[in-house]
Chain A
Protein backbone atom coordinates (compact mmCIF):
# COMPACT_ATOMS: atom_id res chain seq x y z
CA UNK A 1 0.00 0.00 0.00
CA UNK A 2 1.44 3.32 -1.01
CA UNK A 3 1.56 5.90 1.73
CA UNK A 4 0.73 9.44 0.61
CA UNK A 5 3.84 11.61 0.62
CA UNK A 6 3.63 14.29 3.30
CA UNK A 7 5.08 17.60 2.32
CA UNK A 8 6.85 19.30 5.14
CA UNK A 9 5.83 22.73 6.37
CA UNK A 10 8.53 24.52 4.40
CA UNK A 11 7.16 23.29 1.09
CA UNK A 12 3.59 24.04 2.10
CA UNK A 13 4.47 27.55 3.23
CA UNK A 14 6.43 28.23 0.05
CA UNK A 15 3.55 27.02 -2.10
CA UNK A 16 1.08 29.12 -0.16
CA UNK A 17 3.29 32.18 -0.66
CA UNK A 18 3.49 31.52 -4.40
CA UNK A 19 -0.27 31.05 -4.65
CA UNK A 20 -0.92 34.32 -2.84
CA UNK A 21 1.59 36.13 -5.08
CA UNK A 22 -0.16 34.79 -8.22
CA UNK A 23 -3.58 35.74 -6.82
CA UNK A 24 -2.43 39.28 -6.00
CA UNK A 25 -0.85 39.60 -9.46
CA UNK A 26 -4.02 38.47 -11.23
CA UNK A 27 -6.30 40.71 -9.16
CA UNK A 28 -4.03 43.71 -9.86
CA UNK A 29 -4.01 42.87 -13.57
CA UNK A 30 -7.82 42.70 -13.69
CA UNK A 31 -8.09 46.00 -11.79
CA UNK A 32 -5.56 47.58 -14.14
CA UNK A 33 -7.45 46.47 -17.27
CA UNK A 34 -10.68 47.79 -15.73
CA UNK A 35 -9.16 51.21 -14.94
CA UNK A 36 -7.52 51.43 -18.38
CA UNK A 37 -10.84 50.57 -20.03
CA UNK A 38 -12.66 53.29 -18.08
CA UNK A 39 -9.97 55.85 -18.99
CA UNK A 40 -9.92 54.88 -22.68
CA UNK A 41 -13.73 54.83 -22.93
CA UNK A 42 -14.36 57.83 -20.71
CA UNK A 43 -13.92 60.60 -23.23
CA UNK A 44 -15.93 58.78 -25.90
CA UNK A 45 -18.80 58.03 -23.54
CA UNK A 46 -19.15 61.72 -22.68
CA UNK A 47 -18.88 62.63 -26.36
CA UNK A 48 -21.73 60.42 -27.63
CA UNK A 49 -25.06 61.67 -28.90
CA UNK A 50 -27.75 61.52 -26.20
Chain B
Protein backbone atom coordinates (compact mmCIF):
# COMPACT_ATOMS: atom_id res chain seq x y z
CA UNK B 1 0.00 0.00 0.00
CA UNK B 2 2.66 2.48 0.96
CA UNK B 3 5.55 1.13 -1.09
CA UNK B 4 5.11 3.57 -3.94
CA UNK B 5 5.40 6.44 -1.52
CA UNK B 6 8.26 5.17 0.47
CA UNK B 7 11.39 5.46 -1.65
CA UNK B 8 13.77 7.31 0.61
CA UNK B 9 14.80 10.81 -0.48
CA UNK B 10 17.03 11.43 2.50
CA UNK B 11 18.66 9.02 4.92
CA UNK B 12 16.36 8.03 7.75
CA UNK B 13 17.59 9.29 11.11
CA UNK B 14 16.64 7.71 14.41
CA UNK B 15 14.49 10.75 15.09
CA UNK B 16 12.37 9.87 12.04
CA UNK B 17 11.72 6.42 13.50
CA UNK B 18 10.84 8.05 16.80
CA UNK B 19 8.26 10.19 14.98
CA UNK B 20 6.63 6.97 13.73
CA UNK B 21 5.63 6.28 17.33
CA UNK B 22 3.48 9.46 17.50
CA UNK B 23 5.16 10.72 20.70
CA UNK B 24 2.40 13.26 21.47
CA UNK B 25 -0.29 10.56 21.41
CA UNK B 26 2.05 8.36 23.41
CA UNK B 27 2.28 10.98 26.16
CA UNK B 28 -1.54 11.06 26.46
CA UNK B 29 -1.61 7.26 26.64
CA UNK B 30 1.03 7.33 29.40
CA UNK B 31 -1.05 9.85 31.35
CA UNK B 32 -4.32 7.87 31.20
CA UNK B 33 -2.56 4.55 31.84
CA UNK B 34 -0.80 6.04 34.85
CA UNK B 35 -4.17 7.20 36.19
CA UNK B 36 -5.56 3.67 35.87
CA UNK B 37 -2.46 2.25 37.54
CA UNK B 38 -2.66 4.67 40.48
CA UNK B 39 -6.46 4.42 40.87
CA UNK B 40 -6.18 0.63 41.20
CA UNK B 41 -5.20 1.44 44.76
CA UNK B 42 -2.89 -1.44 45.39
CA UNK B 43 0.83 -1.07 46.17
CA UNK B 44 3.17 -2.01 43.35
CA UNK B 45 6.94 -2.05 43.10
CA UNK B 46 7.80 1.33 41.51
CA UNK B 47 10.11 -0.32 38.96
CA UNK B 48 7.37 -2.75 37.90
CA UNK B 49 4.92 0.17 37.72
CA UNK B 50 7.34 2.04 35.46
CA UNK B 51 7.79 -1.07 33.31
CA UNK B 52 4.00 -1.35 32.93
CA UNK B 53 3.74 2.27 31.78
CA UNK B 54 6.72 1.80 29.45
CA UNK B 55 5.12 -1.30 27.89
CA UNK B 56 1.83 0.53 27.33
CA UNK B 57 3.67 3.52 25.81
CA UNK B 58 5.77 1.33 23.52
CA UNK B 59 2.70 -0.70 22.53
CA UNK B 60 0.90 2.54 21.61
CA UNK B 61 3.95 3.61 19.62
CA UNK B 62 4.06 0.26 17.84
CA UNK B 63 0.45 0.52 16.73
CA UNK B 64 1.09 4.10 15.60
CA UNK B 65 3.99 2.90 13.46
CA UNK B 66 1.79 0.24 11.83
CA UNK B 67 -0.89 2.90 11.30
CA UNK B 68 1.60 5.23 9.59
CA UNK B 69 2.74 2.45 7.28
CA UNK B 70 -0.77 1.47 6.21
CA UNK B 71 -2.14 5.00 5.96
CA UNK B 72 0.82 6.48 4.05
CA UNK B 73 -1.31 6.93 0.92
CA UNK B 74 -4.01 8.98 2.64
CA UNK B 75 -1.53 10.77 4.93
CA UNK B 76 0.20 12.05 1.79
CA UNK B 77 -3.04 13.76 0.70
CA UNK B 78 -3.72 15.62 3.93
CA UNK B 79 -1.94 18.82 4.97
CA UNK B 80 -1.84 17.81 8.62
CA UNK B 81 -0.14 14.48 7.93
CA UNK B 82 1.83 14.82 4.70
CA UNK B 83 5.04 15.56 6.60
CA UNK B 84 4.97 12.22 8.45
CA UNK B 85 8.05 10.02 7.99
CA UNK B 86 6.58 7.50 5.50
CA UNK B 87 4.63 9.78 3.11
CA UNK B 88 7.50 12.28 3.14
CA UNK B 89 9.88 9.51 2.08
CA UNK B 90 12.14 9.71 5.12
CA UNK B 91 11.34 6.16 6.23
CA UNK B 92 10.45 3.19 4.03
CA UNK B 93 7.09 1.51 4.60
CA UNK B 94 8.73 -1.88 5.24
CA UNK B 95 10.87 -0.34 7.98
CA UNK B 96 7.79 1.16 9.65
CA UNK B 97 6.10 -2.27 9.66
CA UNK B 98 9.21 -3.94 11.05
CA UNK B 99 9.46 -1.37 13.83
CA UNK B 100 5.76 -1.75 14.65
CA UNK B 101 5.85 -5.55 14.78
CA UNK B 102 9.07 -5.76 16.80
CA UNK B 103 7.94 -3.18 19.37
CA UNK B 104 4.52 -4.88 19.66
CA UNK B 105 6.15 -8.22 20.45
CA UNK B 106 8.66 -6.72 22.90
CA UNK B 107 6.04 -4.66 24.77
CA UNK B 108 3.48 -7.48 25.08
CA UNK B 109 6.04 -10.12 26.12
CA UNK B 110 7.67 -7.83 28.67
CA UNK B 111 4.28 -6.85 30.10
CA UNK B 112 3.37 -10.53 30.46
CA UNK B 113 6.64 -11.52 32.10
CA UNK B 114 7.02 -8.49 34.38
CA UNK B 115 3.38 -7.86 35.37
CA UNK B 116 0.69 -10.33 34.35
CA UNK B 117 -0.78 -11.91 31.24
CA UNK B 118 -4.17 -10.25 31.57
CA UNK B 119 -2.51 -6.85 31.13
CA UNK B 120 -0.37 -8.29 28.31
CA UNK B 121 -3.47 -9.71 26.59
CA UNK B 122 -5.30 -6.38 26.85
CA UNK B 123 -2.24 -4.61 25.45
CA UNK B 124 -2.04 -7.05 22.53
CA UNK B 125 -5.76 -6.59 21.87
CA UNK B 126 -5.38 -2.79 21.93
CA UNK B 127 -2.53 -2.89 19.40
CA UNK B 128 -4.51 -5.27 17.16
CA UNK B 129 -7.67 -3.18 17.47
CA UNK B 130 -5.93 0.07 16.52
CA UNK B 131 -3.65 -1.28 13.79
CA UNK B 132 -6.02 -3.78 12.17
CA UNK B 133 -9.65 -3.14 13.14
CA UNK B 134 -9.47 0.68 13.10
CA UNK B 135 -6.67 1.44 10.63
CA UNK B 136 -7.16 -1.29 8.05
CA UNK B 137 -10.92 -1.69 8.24
CA UNK B 138 -13.04 0.96 9.97
CA UNK B 139 -11.17 4.12 9.01
CA UNK B 140 -11.78 3.75 5.28
CA UNK B 141 -15.16 2.05 5.38
CA UNK B 142 -17.55 3.75 7.81
CA UNK B 143 -18.42 7.14 9.26
CA UNK B 144 -18.51 5.39 12.65
CA UNK B 145 -14.74 4.80 12.34
CA UNK B 146 -13.66 6.94 15.28
CA UNK B 147 -16.64 5.90 17.41
CA UNK B 148 -15.74 2.20 17.37
CA UNK B 149 -12.01 2.79 16.89
CA UNK B 150 -12.04 5.01 19.97
CA UNK B 151 -11.94 1.84 22.06
CA UNK B 152 -8.22 1.52 21.31
CA UNK B 153 -7.54 4.93 22.83
CA UNK B 154 -9.83 4.18 25.77
CA UNK B 155 -8.18 0.97 26.94
CA UNK B 156 -4.84 2.21 28.42
CA UNK B 157 -6.29 2.99 31.90
CA UNK B 158 -7.80 -0.52 31.95
CA UNK B 159 -4.41 -1.99 31.07
CA UNK B 160 -2.76 0.11 33.78
CA UNK B 161 -5.33 -1.12 36.30
CA UNK B 162 -4.94 -4.75 35.21
CA UNK B 163 -1.15 -4.46 35.45
CA UNK B 164 -1.42 -3.73 39.18
CA UNK B 165 -4.29 -5.97 40.28
CA UNK B 166 -4.58 -8.64 37.60
CA UNK B 167 -8.29 -7.79 37.43
CA UNK B 168 -10.48 -5.27 35.61
CA UNK B 169 -13.29 -4.16 37.96
CA UNK B 170 -16.18 -1.87 36.90
CA UNK B 171 -14.30 1.29 37.94
CA UNK B 172 -11.54 0.45 35.45
CA UNK B 173 -14.14 0.10 32.70
CA UNK B 174 -15.67 3.41 33.83
CA UNK B 175 -12.37 5.17 33.01
CA UNK B 176 -12.44 3.40 29.65
CA UNK B 177 -16.05 4.50 29.05
CA UNK B 178 -15.19 8.14 29.75
CA UNK B 179 -12.52 8.20 27.02
CA UNK B 180 -14.68 6.12 24.68
CA UNK B 181 -17.65 8.52 24.95
CA UNK B 182 -15.36 11.56 24.83
CA UNK B 183 -13.75 10.54 21.51
CA UNK B 184 -16.66 11.27 19.08
CA UNK B 185 -17.35 14.88 20.14
CA UNK B 186 -13.61 15.54 20.33
CA UNK B 187 -12.75 14.21 16.86
CA UNK B 188 -15.90 15.36 15.10
CA UNK B 189 -15.35 18.91 16.38
CA UNK B 190 -11.90 18.77 14.79
CA UNK B 191 -13.15 17.17 11.58
CA UNK B 192 -15.76 19.91 11.14
CA UNK B 193 -12.99 22.29 10.17
CA UNK B 194 -10.63 19.80 8.54
CA UNK B 195 -13.25 17.88 6.52
CA UNK B 196 -11.86 19.18 3.24
CA UNK B 197 -8.66 17.24 3.89
CA UNK B 198 -10.54 14.06 4.82
CA UNK B 199 -12.71 14.36 1.72
CA UNK B 200 -9.65 14.76 -0.49
CA UNK B 201 -8.12 11.65 1.08
CA UNK B 202 -11.36 9.66 0.77
CA UNK B 203 -11.72 9.11 4.52
CA UNK B 204 -15.43 8.85 5.40
CA UNK B 205 -15.42 11.13 8.41
CA UNK B 206 -18.85 12.12 9.69
CA UNK B 207 -18.95 15.66 8.19
CA UNK B 208 -17.94 14.23 4.79
CA UNK B 209 -20.58 11.46 4.82
CA UNK B 210 -23.53 12.96 6.72
CA UNK B 211 -22.75 16.67 6.44
CA UNK B 212 -21.91 19.30 9.04
CA UNK B 213 -25.46 19.77 10.41
CA UNK B 214 -25.82 16.08 11.23
CA UNK B 215 -22.31 16.06 12.73
CA UNK B 216 -23.11 19.04 14.98
CA UNK B 217 -26.29 17.28 16.16
CA UNK B 218 -24.43 14.05 16.89
CA UNK B 219 -21.72 15.96 18.77
CA UNK B 220 -24.42 17.43 21.01
CA UNK B 221 -26.01 13.99 21.60
CA UNK B 222 -22.67 12.39 22.46
CA UNK B 223 -21.82 15.32 24.74
CA UNK B 224 -25.08 14.86 26.66
CA UNK B 225 -24.34 11.14 26.98
CA UNK B 226 -20.71 11.79 27.97
CA UNK B 227 -21.23 13.97 31.04
CA UNK B 228 -22.96 11.32 33.24
CA UNK B 229 -20.02 8.99 32.58
CA UNK B 230 -17.60 11.77 33.57
CA UNK B 231 -19.41 12.53 36.83
CA UNK B 232 -20.06 8.87 37.69
CA UNK B 233 -16.64 8.16 39.34
CA UNK B 234 -17.68 10.52 42.18
CA UNK B 235 -20.51 8.08 42.93
CA UNK B 236 -18.66 4.78 42.52
CA UNK B 237 -15.96 5.22 45.12
CA UNK B 238 -13.34 6.31 42.57
CA UNK B 239 -13.43 10.10 42.78
CA UNK B 240 -13.64 12.55 45.67
CA UNK B 241 -15.14 15.97 46.24
CA UNK B 242 -12.58 17.72 44.01
CA UNK B 243 -13.40 15.29 41.22
CA UNK B 244 -17.12 15.91 41.63
CA UNK B 245 -16.60 19.67 41.34
CA UNK B 246 -14.22 19.46 38.37
CA UNK B 247 -16.32 16.94 36.45
CA UNK B 248 -19.58 18.80 37.18
CA UNK B 249 -18.40 22.32 36.34
CA UNK B 250 -16.30 21.12 33.39
CA UNK B 251 -19.23 19.08 32.15
CA UNK B 252 -21.47 22.14 32.23
CA UNK B 253 -18.95 24.10 30.15
CA UNK B 254 -18.60 21.13 27.76
CA UNK B 255 -22.37 21.04 27.25
CA UNK B 256 -22.53 24.81 26.74
CA UNK B 257 -19.82 24.65 24.06
CA UNK B 258 -21.52 21.67 22.40
CA UNK B 259 -24.81 23.59 22.37
CA UNK B 260 -23.12 26.65 20.84
CA UNK B 261 -21.55 24.42 18.21
CA UNK B 262 -24.92 22.83 17.48
CA UNK B 263 -26.41 26.30 16.89
CA UNK B 264 -23.44 27.46 14.77
CA UNK B 265 -22.63 27.14 11.08
CA UNK B 266 -19.30 25.41 11.73
CA UNK B 267 -18.29 23.14 8.87
CA UNK B 268 -20.83 24.56 6.44
CA UNK B 269 -18.10 26.08 4.29
CA UNK B 270 -14.53 25.11 3.58
CA UNK B 271 -11.98 26.92 5.68
CA UNK B 272 -9.10 28.19 3.56
CA UNK B 273 -7.28 29.61 6.58
CA UNK B 274 -6.82 26.23 8.17
CA UNK B 275 -3.45 25.45 6.67
CA UNK B 276 -1.35 23.98 9.45
CA UNK B 277 -2.55 24.85 12.91
CA UNK B 278 -5.51 23.10 14.51
CA UNK B 279 -6.43 26.26 16.43
CA UNK B 280 -6.11 28.86 13.69
CA UNK B 281 -9.54 28.87 12.10
CA UNK B 282 -11.87 31.49 10.72
CA UNK B 283 -14.86 32.84 12.62
CA UNK B 284 -17.39 30.29 11.29
CA UNK B 285 -15.44 27.37 12.70
CA UNK B 286 -14.56 28.98 16.01
CA UNK B 287 -17.24 27.07 17.92
CA UNK B 288 -15.88 23.76 16.63
CA UNK B 289 -12.34 24.81 17.54
CA UNK B 290 -13.47 25.87 21.03
CA UNK B 291 -15.12 22.52 21.76
CA UNK B 292 -12.12 20.64 20.34
CA UNK B 293 -9.70 22.59 22.55
CA UNK B 294 -11.89 22.37 25.66
CA UNK B 295 -12.44 18.63 25.21
CA UNK B 296 -8.69 18.10 25.59
CA UNK B 297 -8.59 20.29 28.68
CA UNK B 298 -11.63 18.57 30.21
CA UNK B 299 -10.29 15.04 29.81
CA UNK B 300 -6.89 16.13 31.13
CA UNK B 301 -8.50 17.75 34.19
CA UNK B 302 -10.66 14.70 34.92
CA UNK B 303 -7.75 12.28 34.90
CA UNK B 304 -5.37 14.72 36.63
CA UNK B 305 -7.88 15.23 39.44
CA UNK B 306 -8.30 11.48 39.93
CA UNK B 307 -4.54 11.08 39.88
CA UNK B 308 -3.94 13.83 42.46
CA UNK B 309 -6.74 12.62 44.73
CA UNK B 310 -5.37 9.08 44.79
CA UNK B 311 -1.72 10.14 45.15
CA UNK B 312 -2.63 12.43 48.06
CA UNK B 313 -4.79 9.76 49.63
CA UNK B 314 -7.92 11.90 49.57
CA UNK B 315 -10.94 9.83 50.48
CA UNK B 316 -13.39 9.09 47.70
CA UNK B 317 -16.95 10.13 48.39
CA UNK B 318 -18.82 7.32 50.11
CA UNK B 319 -22.27 7.76 48.65
CA UNK B 320 -23.03 4.07 48.62
CA UNK B 321 -22.24 3.32 52.26
Residues of chain A at the chain B interface (Cβ within 8 Å): 10-11, 13-15, 17-18, 20-21, 29, 32-33, 35-36, 39-40
A21 close to B14 (CB less than 8 A):
yes
CA distance A10 to B51 in the complex (A): 35
A36 close to B12 (CB less than 8 A):
no
- CB<8 Å pairs between A and B, sample of 27: A10-B10, A10-B11, A14-B10, A14-B11, A14-B12, A14-B13, A15-B11, A17-B13, A18-B13, A18-B14, A18-B17, A20-B14, A21-B14, A21-B17, A29-B106, A29-B110, A32-B51, A32-B110, A33-B110, A35-B47, A36-B47, A36-B48, A36-B110, A36-B113, A36-B114, A39-B45, A39-B48
Chain B, residue nearest A40 (CB): B114
In chain B, positions 169-221 with a C-beta closer than 8 Å to chain A are none
CA distance A42 to B10 in the complex (A): 49
Q: Which A residues are in CB contact (< 8 Å) with B48?
A: 36, 39
Chain B interface category by residue count: 10 to 19
A14 to chain B, nearest CB (A): 3
Chain B, residue nearest A22 (CB): B14
Chain B, residue nearest A7 (CB): B11
A36 close to B51 (CB less than 8 A):
yes
Q: Which A residues are in CB contact (< 8 Å) with B14?
A: 17-18, 20-21
Q: Which A residues are in CB contact (< 8 Å) with B10?
A: 10, 14
B94 to chain A, nearest CB (A): 15
Q: Which 7 A-B pairs have the closest CB atoms?
A: A14-B11, A21-B14, A36-B114, A11-B11, A14-B13, A17-B14, A18-B14
